[in-house]
Amino acid sequence: MAKTIQIKDKKFSLSIPEHEIQKAVNQVAHQITVDYTGKTPLFIVVLNGAFMFAADLMKAINFPCEISFVKFSSYRGTTSSGMLNETAGLNESVEGRDVIIVEDIVDTGITIEGVINSLKAQGTKSIAVAAFLQKPEALQREVTVDYVALKIPNNFIVGYGLDYDGYGRNLKDIYTVVNE
Ligand code: IMP
Ligand code: MG
């Protein structure tokens, strides 16, 4: 039986072990390397959830690039509120830059759509999205996710940067909620 953990009122069971995560992240790093070598892109990491993915991804990228961070909030508990608030922004100009957005997960697509629109309005040369996870069944917006490490079913998960009410971000594996 898979390892289970308890976070607050919910049980979660191990669904994606660390070695599978690392393999998938390295594959994304390789694809980005093939597409961007010679372009000096700006990676924009969406906090908080993408911090662990971004750290592993960037360690596997060996061409000249810059990294910056933005922060939005849209989630409460286990369902999306559908509202997007920018709580911290970029210090540097994105005008004329090849930007790669680094996101933890594309669920409904509302968050990533908001981030894309906000960057486009600032005059980027190109925008690509690199997401650690995608829940294809949950997608409600027409957004292109250029790089996806792993596609998962439409169930709530925690770990590897993703949280349940603030907890579980530090887990090195992914756990899926157990519906009782
Ligand atoms: P979207 O706007 O619905 O695409 O949601 C994107 C954001 O919701 C992500 O950046 C996550 O922070 C959060 N999120 C979506 N699904 C999950 C999940 O299963 N666990 C934890 N956070 C999630
Ligand atoms: Mg997030």
Tell how far CA 21 is from the center of its chain: 13
Residue at 26 is within a domain: yes
CA–CA dist 3, 69 (Å, integer): 33
Q: Find the CATH number of the domain harbouring 133.
A: 3.40.50.2020
CB atoms within 10 A of CB 127: 19
Output the CA–CA distances (angstroms, integers) from residue 18 to 31, 46, 50, 144, 148, in the order listed.
Answer: 20, 21, 16, 27, 16
The tally of domains found in the chain comes to 1
Residue at 148 is within a domain: yes
Residue at 3 is within a domain: no
48 preceded by a cis bond (ω within 30 of 0): yes
Residue at 63 is within a domain: yes
Q: What's the pTM value of the predicted model, to 2 decimals? A: 0.93
List pocket residues of ligand 1, CB cut-off 6 Å: 49, 74-75, 80, 103-112, 156-158, 162-163
In angstroms, how far apart are the furthest CA atoms of the chain? Answer: 51
- In terms of Cβ atoms closer than 10 Å to its own Cβ (0-12, 13-18, 19+), residue 51 is middle
Residue at 165 is within a domain: no
Ligand 1: which residue has its CA nearest to atom 5? 107
Q: Which domain holds residue 126?
A: 19-72+88-153
Q: Which residue has the tokens 């790093």?
A: 29
Distance 39 CA to ligand 1 centre (A): 30
Residue at 83 is within a domain: no
163 is catalytic: no
Residue at 100 is within a domain: yes
| Tens of each residue's pLDDT in the chain, 180 residues | 789 999 999 999 999 999 999 999 999 999 999 999 999 999 999 999 999 999 999 999 999 999 999 987 655 455 554 555 555 678 889 999 999 999 999 999 988 998 999 899 889 999 999 999 999 999 999 999 999 999 999 999 999 999 999 999 999 999 999 987
Residue at 9 is within a domain: no
Q: Strands 126-134, 147-151: parallel, antiparallel or unpaired by DSSP? A: parallel
Structural tokens at position 90: 């970029």
CA–CA dist 80, 97 (Å, integer): 31
